[in-house]
Amino acid sequence: MTREDIESGSQDMVIDEGKPEGGERMQGNAAPEGFNVNYLKVYYGKLFPHADMFKWMSYGNDGKHPACDQSYFGRREFSFTLDNDIYLRFQSFNSASELENSIKEKCPFKIDIGPVYSVDPAKRHAYAQSGDNVFAPVERELIFDIDITDYDDVRYCCSGADVCLDCWPLMTVAIKVIDASLKDDFGFNHILWVYSGRRGVHCWVCDGKARRLTNEQRASIAEYFRVYKGNENSHKKVSLSDPLHPFLGRSYTEVLKDFFESKLLLSQKLFSTEERYEKILEMIPDESITSELRGKWQDNKRSSISKEDTNVVRWEQLKRILQSGKHKAQGPQMCVKEIVFSFTYPRLDMEVSKHMNHLLKAPFCVHPKTGRVCVPIDPNCCEEFDPTSVPTLSKLLEEMNTGSLRADIDNVLLMPEWDRTSLGKSVRFFRSSFLQPLLKACKEEIENSYNAKLQHSKNSLNW
Amino acid sequence: MEIVGSRRKALHYDAVSTIPLYRSAPALEVRLEDFELFAMDRLRVLKGISDALSRGKKPEEMQQVERDLWKANMKHPEASEVVNKDIISHFVLRLAYCRTEDLRKWFLSMETALFRYRFMSESVEAQRALMAEFDLPYKAVSNAEFESTKDKLWQVARSVVPPLSTADTVFYKVPFEEVPELVAGRRVFVHKGHAYVARNQVVSLVATQFRSHLSKALILTNRKWISTIREQESDRLAPIVEALCTSYLGPDYSEPRELGDISIKEIDQIAQSSFPLCMRHLFEKLREDHHLKHGGRMQFGLFLKGIGLKLDDALAFWKAEFSQKVGAERFDKEYAYSIRHNYGREGKRTDYTPYSCQKIISSSPGAGDHHGCPYRHFSEENLRAALGKMRLNNRAVEDVMDKVRSRHYQLACTLTFEAIHGTSCDAGINHPNQYFTDSQKYLQSK
């Protein structure tokens, strides 16, 4: 997401009244909910993992190896959104301390990360638009943005900016499907999933190969992932081949089918009202089938014997008729899968992934509307992730003030601030699961290409 | 490539594979005539492909279309010269078609299509050799790997539209980023960063590479053209190159028509039924004045040759007319020579080809001349009269005049043809001999 959302969320920003700056002490260490500038200042001062962000963005080019590219970090674009919607693009920094100082000084409400350019963005005006000497992106992570509002036509519990534990699992499922494919199909290893702070997730694929993909190649991966095509006007937005491509087949049998039948059907009560089941009937092209089913369900008819949930019963009825083979046309056969895909298959924002110069919010930012930190999500146990219990700015400050969170450790005061709060878990995960393996791989890559160059020049000196 | 007068020196060309890749202009020498003729032959192939595609021919049919076109146009009496003709013609057309964005786009599309069809007709070994030429580091999937993945490969093959043949067991393992179109369409199995591409799909990849190389080459050629070639060759190659894009490419009617020869006796009758207006006019005037000036003699004389009038008959025909004005001896002395010249029996022995509409329209008849294109060169009054004499109804005359006013002279002639014959002429009239042939064909089919 690169722009502030202009919509009325159900939760308005809480405005502080008459708070002294610095350490807030209210009754029992509680701090007001939400987001405010003062808290943000403290956050950037004590909690935001500046050094880790620098290490990540350097991709091993920290100057310790002769083959390091000293200019690499300085060619990365950052953008800051300040208070009052002031937007600063093409920010760049030459060292970790420059980055840190600028963030602390400007206290941006949002930090976006852009691509690595051919030259320092600060010098871009000196370069041409085309030809040989250009200012153009040369590296950029492969990124994905999944936003739950894109699923509004299939979730009934919430709408708009709201998210709850009934609909959040749609994001979980999206992570599972995409993550598995990025690893198994495309062979990527260094993948970071991040909570966007309110109602979605971001994905950063950081392998060297991914960073060097062209726009066309990025678009092809996004298209490979795309299944849902349509808008309010089309009834049938998912059209599947028979047989399915192995990627879709695997997603269906390993993730989507089970999720739909044992979770979504019930949490969203997909067949419980006429309006809801009509939406599903719209996806079935055969009139005789739909009228048969309508006949069974209208007026809330229920089999008095069955104690099972209506939604489950009706889904079973639908499946039985579609798969009965009574209607031999190909359409009904694939309908069951198409319905499942319509509700559960990931819906990506294609534009985000396709262009190298697209900006994306940095992990560990704080969402201005919710006060929640954009923390990483572990794809291997993403079912356990609960967006409603992600640490907020005020909670973190409270924890800092009391310092009571890690009372179990003796030398609590020797630990970094963030580790004394619930942010600690996220930072530790970021480091061990993502950053360390990534940097190790980067160092190896730098080492290898250096040795290859040496070998090459040795060979060319042989007479 | 060196263009020389009429010397000829055959050079070696190292053919690595059957389809040349046109990477760089070869060190060949080519005659000036061949420079133009080879290019026009190739242009017929490319235009033929373009026509077939715009008529909606399916991909399976296109391969045969290409084969027929190539066979019909790109042969050479000396077998060893066939490849040279291929290469030379391509490079000459590059010069002609590098000059504007639109020309480049058309040429790029047609050459890529041509390459694609030729590639598909090649043997497996030849295809593999070509792929290697394009630096496509594609390894064929080993038998062992094929056995373990074939279920998935066949699943993909059956999931695409149209389905790929599962009889094809040759697959190539390719880094996925090299085949973005196939990945985007989920037309390949992707695993651990590799895409498994079926042999049939490889064609697209090779064609994409071919296209990208040619695209860059065209830009460079254009730069060179602008900076040096156009200037240097302004009185030799440049006119040929510049004319190529608009040249008439239909049959040149230099061969006697299949329908048999005409005899002089028939001329009056067929003139009424099947001559286009320009030739009717010349014929009328010849009968009236017993004379035609040079422009008219050329235009009408070559036309008659094209419809099958043999040299002896032609001499008799013209003599019969001219001797009524200038006498038999003067005819033999002054005019017979040029008729024989037209038939390629004198001097340079060039067998002149009948003029196309384009050429006729662009001529400039002066006082006393009757050649040219009536739709262009006649006054409105005279044209209406002439059309009336051909018994066109008022409606048809208005339609024709409409076309004339918007300067679509050939369309005007086409409408005339349609009105007289009561049938449609979809291809449009491009050549007076075509008008004649089409007319005869129609009349004889009734």
Give pLDDT tens digits for A39-54: 999 999 999 999 999 9
pLDDT at B148 over 60: yes
Min Cα separation A208/chain B (Å): 13
Q: What is the pLDDT of residue A132?
A: 64
Q: What is the pLDDT of residue B18?
A: 74
d(C-alpha A403, C-alpha A425), whole Å: 15
- Examine the residue annotation and report whether A299 is marked as an active-site residue of this protein: no
d(C-alpha A235, C-alpha B153), whole Å: 32
Cβ-based contacts of B192 with chain A (< 8 Å)? 184-185, 187
Average pLDDT over residues A199-210: 97
Q: What is the pLDDT of residue B262?
A: 77
Nearest to B190 among A185, A213, A214 (CB): A185
pLDDT at B290 over 90: yes
Q: What is the pLDDT of residue A21?
A: 39
Task: Indicate the range of A39-48, B295-304, B330-339 predicted with least confidence.
Answer: B330-339
pLDDT confidence band for B21 (50 / 70 / 90) = confident
Q: What is the pLDDT of residue A69?
A: 93
Q: What is the pLDDT of residue A114?
A: 97
pLDDT confidence band for A97 (50 / 70 / 90) = very high
Query: What is the token pair recorded at B256?
Result: 């006697």
Task: Indicate the range of A286-300, A349-363, B35-49, B88-102 predicted with least confidence.
Answer: A286-300
Which burial class, exposed, middle or buried, applies to B398 when counting CB atoms under 10 A from its CB (0-12, 13-18, 19+)?
Answer: exposed
pLDDT confidence band for B10 (50 / 70 / 90) = very low
pLDDT at A10 over 50: no
pLDDT confidence band for A25 (50 / 70 / 90) = very low
Q: Chain B contact for A87, CB < 8 A?
A: no
Strand A376-377 vs strand B2-4: parallel, antiparallel, or unpaired? unpaired
Q: Is A186 close to B185, i.e. CB distance below 8 A?
A: no
pLDDT at B13 over 50: no
Cβ-based contacts of A244 with chain B (< 8 Å)? 155, 159
Strand B139-140 vs strand A110-117: parallel, antiparallel, or unpaired? unpaired
Q: What is the pLDDT of residue B140?
A: 80
Q: What is the pLDDT of residue B253?
A: 66
pLDDT at A24 over 60: no
> Contact B286/B300 with Cβ under 8 angstroms?
yes
Q: What is the pLDDT of residue B406?
A: 85
Q: What is the pLDDT of residue B165?
A: 74
Q: What is the pLDDT of residue A11?
A: 35
Q: Chain B contact for A239, CB < 8 A?
A: no
pLDDT at B58 over 80: no
Q: Chain A contact for B192, CB < 8 A?
A: yes
pLDDT confidence band for B133 (50 / 70 / 90) = confident
Q: Which long-range contacts (CB under 8 A, 24 or more apart) does B75-82 make?
A: B80/B10, B81/B10
pLDDT confidence band for A233 (50 / 70 / 90) = low
Min Cα separation A407/chain B (Å): 45
pLDDT confidence band for A381 (50 / 70 / 90) = very high
Phi, psi angle pair for A195, to nearest 5°: -75, 135
Residue the block writes with tokens 């006796």: B265
Substitution target in A132, A177, A220, A345 with the highest count of B β-carbons within 10 Å is: A220
Give pLDDT tens digits for B207-243: 888 998 999 999 999 998 888 888 888 888 888 888 7
**Of A127, A408, A224, nearest in space to B184 by CA:** A224
When comparing pLDDT for A232 and B124, which is higher? B124
pLDDT confidence band for A201 (50 / 70 / 90) = very high
C-alpha distances out from residue A3 to A84, A160, A184, B90, B430, Å: 13, 16, 33, 52, 60
Query: What is the token pair recorded at A333?
Result: 């056969």
Nearest to B177 among A185, A217, A248 (CB): A217
Give, for B33, the enclosing helix (H) or strand (E). helix B32-54
Average pLDDT over residues A336-344: 94
Q: Chain B contact for A246, CB < 8 A?
A: yes
When comparing pLDDT for A170 and B309, which is higher? A170
pLDDT confidence band for A319 (50 / 70 / 90) = very high
Facing residues of A195 across strands?
A: A201
pLDDT confidence band for A27 (50 / 70 / 90) = very low
When comparing pLDDT for A284 and A250, which is higher? A250
List b or e across B9-47, with b for residues whose CB sees 16 or more CB atoms inside 10 angstroms: eeeeeeeebebbbbeebbebbbbeebbbebbbbbbbbbe
pLDDT at A225 over 80: yes
Average pLDDT over residues B32-54: 85
pLDDT at A307 over 80: no
Average pLDDT over residues A68-72: 93
pLDDT confidence band for B429 (50 / 70 / 90) = confident
Q: Which of A351-355, B13-17, B361-365, B389-393 has the highest mean pLDDT?
A: A351-355
Average pLDDT over residues B118-136: 81
C-alpha distances out from residue B175 to A69, B67, B139, B195, B316, Å: 27, 33, 10, 6, 75
Q: What is the pLDDT of residue A174?
A: 98
d(C-alpha B228, C-alpha A219), whole Å: 41
d(C-alpha B398, C-alpha A124), whole Å: 64
pLDDT at B15 over 60: no
* Annotated catalytic residue within A120, A147, A338, A417: A147
Average pLDDT over residues B131-136: 80
Cβ-based contacts of A247 with chain B (< 8 Å)? 186, 190
Average pLDDT over residues B170-186: 90
Q: Is B159 close to A242, i.e. CB distance below 8 A?
A: yes
pLDDT at A421 over 70: yes
pLDDT at A12 over 50: no
Q: What is the pLDDT of residue B259?
A: 46
pLDDT at B125 over 80: no
Share of chain A above pLDDT 70, in %: 83
- Examine the residue annotation and report whether A145 is marked as an active-site residue of this protein: yes
Compute the mean pLDDT over every residue in chain B, rounded to the nearest whole number.
Answer: 85
Average pLDDT over residues A217-230: 91
- Examine the residue annotation and report whether A24 is marked as an active-site residue of this protein: no
pLDDT confidence band for A18 (50 / 70 / 90) = very low
